[in-house]
Amino acid sequence: MPAVALKTQFESLLGGHLDWQSRPAPECVPSGVPALDAATGGLPRGCLTEIFGPASSGRTSLLLSILAQATHRQEVCALVDAEDAFDPASASAAGVHLDRLLWVRSNSAEHALKAVDLLIQGGGFGMVVLDLGDTPPATARRISLTSWFRLRRAVENTPTVLISVARQSNAKTCASLQLECAREHATWSGALHSSRLLRAISARATSIQRSKTCSPVFTAPAS
């Protein structure tokens, strides 16, 4: 029986419109940045969110804000660190509850991908983060779209928020939400032609998929 005829028959039996191809909107969780949440609706569960931008663009501050929110909700999170760049002291100062964070230290992007896959398959995590922020862009680009697609499929139909952090976009269309971070200006103290101290960085985050921009979404204090 043709699909159209079958759908019509079901609708007549059920007495209403049958929308069997649409998927329910995923539950979203806050990032800890109100302006960003207002623009994007939050971070979707069961999906891949990609955060990318150059150094000093605010991507790490955004990630720490997200982790702080998740651990504050009593969720257990996992951070897979591809280049051993995670600083627990800075994370704790940003409000991350380290007793609810599993830090997986890796020595390559390939091993980090395998670790993320195992964590998702194992379950029990409210959030899993793949940190490629210090991975050279040429190395990160060698990760195939097939690998990203496999991670996207693995996290589907789970309550886990999967996040990738890198200097450039790598997951492309495999990401349900892409957040591009860029530095707008820095605040310094001290005389112009002498030693100066970096006080803060104002950053802009742009939702690539939904084409919405928040400006500025947060100010990241210098460590």
pLDDT in tens, the chain (223 residues): 566 666 566 556 655 555 545 556 788 999 998 988 988 899 999 999 999 999 888 899 999 999 999 999 999 999 999 999 999 999 999 999 999 999 999 989 999 999 999 999 999 999 999 999 999 999 999 999 999 999 999 999 999 999 999 999 999 899 999 999 887 766 767 666 666 665 555 666 666 654 333 333 333 333 3
Please name which of 141, 96, 146, 140 lies closest in space to residue 117, comparing C-alpha atoms. Answer: 146
Please, what's the b/e burial string for 12-34 (b: 16 or more CB within 10 A of its CB; e: otherwise)? eeeeeeeeeeeeeebebbbbbbe
Domain contains 142: yes
Cβ pair 42, 31 in contact under 8 A: yes
Determine how β-strand 47-52 pairs with β-strand 77-81: unpaired
Q: How many CB atoms lie within 10 A of CB 222?
A: 12
Domain contains 44: yes
Domain contains 178: no
Domain contains 162: yes
Domain contains 186: no
Model confidence, pTM: 0.79
Domain contains 202: no
Domain contains 112: yes
Tokens of 221: 């204090």
CATH code for the domain of 154: 3.40.50.300
Range of the domain at 94: 40-172
Tell how far CA 113 is from the center of its chain. 15
Strand partners, 48: 162
Number of domains within the chain: 1
Domain contains 74: yes
